[in-house]
A and B are shown apart, each in its own frame.
Chain A
Amino acid sequence: MNDSVYWNPILEKMPREKLRQLQLKKFREIFTWAYGHSKFYHKLYSDAGIEPGDLKKFEDIKKVPKMEKSMMRSVQGPGKDNFPYGDILCVPLEQVTDYRQTSGTTGQPIYQADTWQDWELGTEAYCYAMWAQGYRPGDRLFLPFGYNIFIAFWAYHYAGEKIGCEVIPGGVLNTEARILKIQELRATAMGATPTYILGMAETARGMGIDPPKDLSIRKITVAGEPGGSVPATRKRMEDAWGAKVYDQVGSTEIGHWGWQCTHQAGLHVNEAMYLIEIEDVNTGELIEEPGRRGKMVVTTFGRMAQPCIRFDVKDLIQWNARQCDCGRTFRLLEGGIQGRADDITKVKGVLLSPLAIEEVVRNIPQLGNEYQVVVIKKGDIDDITLKVEILPEYQKDEAAIKAKLTDQLRLTTNLGYNIEFHPYESLPRSQTKSRRFQDQRPH
């Protein structure tokens, strides 16, 4: 049995200066490929006056124009070449073996093409994550999820197989049936969104099943929404299941670029397969030093059908100053994805990140997992309401809980809230990811 801590001991402990050289080599390769095979990319780069020969040193990378979702949308869809992918596609259509799309919550979905090799690349990236999280042959993975037209958890399945785990696809079952199947088959690990992990635990308890005692799940990978890197949310999930919970981040357009290892010190970036740059939100200057938050710009190395090159993700991240005790030279992010640049909003003149509210709510054990935040305008003034559920056994403590919530929210977000208590299990639940922050102000 292979007892290496690392999926790839060479790359994961590569000295930083060598990793930089590797990144430059790979960036040049994908840039040259896209420049030569995609009308979209060729035009983008020609218009900017940049061509492959111009990339001589690492610092030249920032001269390459960024791309955004809106640009991809503009070249895709009905009436466009290489339907539905548009002229961003770099391979003949007949080489595309896998279609996925984004959720479309921010507009028309992005259509994502992958060749079989690209699909293997995504799987390989996920192997780095799962091996770092302790998945090994002998693990029995349960996927409580109907993976489908979206990218979520397909790679967890394929990487699980590649590592040598046994994979149980639990998609068509309802939540109760999934819990019973986990119990029956003694599954040891799961992959799901934080919302669903918490929801499943609630359902299990309602069935008289105590997950830490009655089920054998001992490790969980969460993805799809923040939560795995929100300490209070992770603790809730770990306490609810008696399992270690690890965050993993990725997206349809990018792939699976970041993950926690067993040390849970932050999100490692897979710097052998992805280039993550952090850009100051206001000035556009690249941020190299730890501790300064900025916008993420990502390049995926080696994804051939529909490359992702300097993609402006608008997620907010910052480098962590420490090197993880696991020994990897892949850098850590501090606090995971800290929000989205377009989620950070001003309420009563104060900048607010919705994730800050999650940390407060989930740190109060007398409150249920679900909550909602609603912002409206009353005349000229912003009004913000937090809706929470008190667990039934703590109803009598409502006044004290309200006082604690008010204090913690003021401390963390600098804002005062209307606090509404709702009956337990009355707020909406989701099987995938939840949209808890509702800004209803006219824009």
Chain B
Amino acid sequence: MNQEYDMKSMVTKIKALRRNAESLKEIAGDFPTVTKNCDRILADVRMLEININDAAEVMGK
């Protein structure tokens, strides 16, 4: 199946994911379940950045 992917929107949402996870971690202070789960989320956000944002950058999207 040939599918067009809305790279621009995906990039925007991935950036928002990062901002949200980082700011959640910041306001959590030393709340372990929040900070540690945010770390996990941010690791997966990094995977999205590697897979989508970096690709979009070289493709000019």
Contact = CB atoms under 8 A, between A and B. Distances in A.
Given A117-B43, A117-B46, A10 B52 contact: yes
B6 to A, nearest CB: 11
Interface string B14-34: 000000000000000000000
Interface residues of B, number: 19
Given A4-B1, A9-B5, A121-B47, A22 B55 contact: yes
Given A11-B55, A22-B58, A124 B5 contact: no
A273 to B, nearest CB: 7
A10 B57 contact: no
A273 B54 CA distance: 11
A46 interface: no
Interface in A313-337: none
A18 B43 contact: no
A21 interface: yes
Contacts of B52: 10
A3 B1 contact: yes
Interface string A1-36: 001100011110010001001100110000000000
A227 interface: no
Contacts of A4: 1, 3
A115 B39 CA distance: 11
Contacts of B13: none
Contacts of B50: 121, 124, 272-273, 301-302
Interface of B: 1, 3, 5, 7, 39-40, 42-44, 46-47, 50-52, 54-55, 57-59
A116 B40 contact: yes
Contacts of A25: 54, 57-58
A115 B55 CA distance: 24
Contacts of B3: 4, 9
Contacts of A9: 3, 5
Contacts of A302: 46, 50
Contact of B43 (A8, A10, A11, A120): A120
A8 B1 CA distance: 14
Contacts of A124: 47, 50-51
Contact of A22 (B7, B46, B54): B54
A8 to B, nearest CB: 5
Contacts of A8: 51, 55
Interface residues of A, number: 22
Contacts of B44: 120
Q: A4, A8, A10, A18: which has the most chain B beta carbons within 10 Å?
A: A10
Nearest to A8: B51
A10 B54 contact: no
Contacts of A22: 54-55, 58
Nearest to A116: B43
Contacts of A10: 5, 7, 51-52, 55, 59
Interface string A112-123: 000111001100
15 contacts: A8-B51, A10-B5, A10-B55, A11-B51, A25-B58, A116-B39, A117-B43, A117-B46, A120-B44, A120-B46, A124-B47, A124-B51, A273-B50, A301-B50, A302-B50
Cβ-closest 6 pairs across A and B? A117-B43, A21-B58, A120-B43, A22-B58, A10-B55, A124-B47
Nearest to B42: A117
Contacts of A11: 51, 55
A26 B49 CA distance: 12
A41 to B, nearest CB: 21
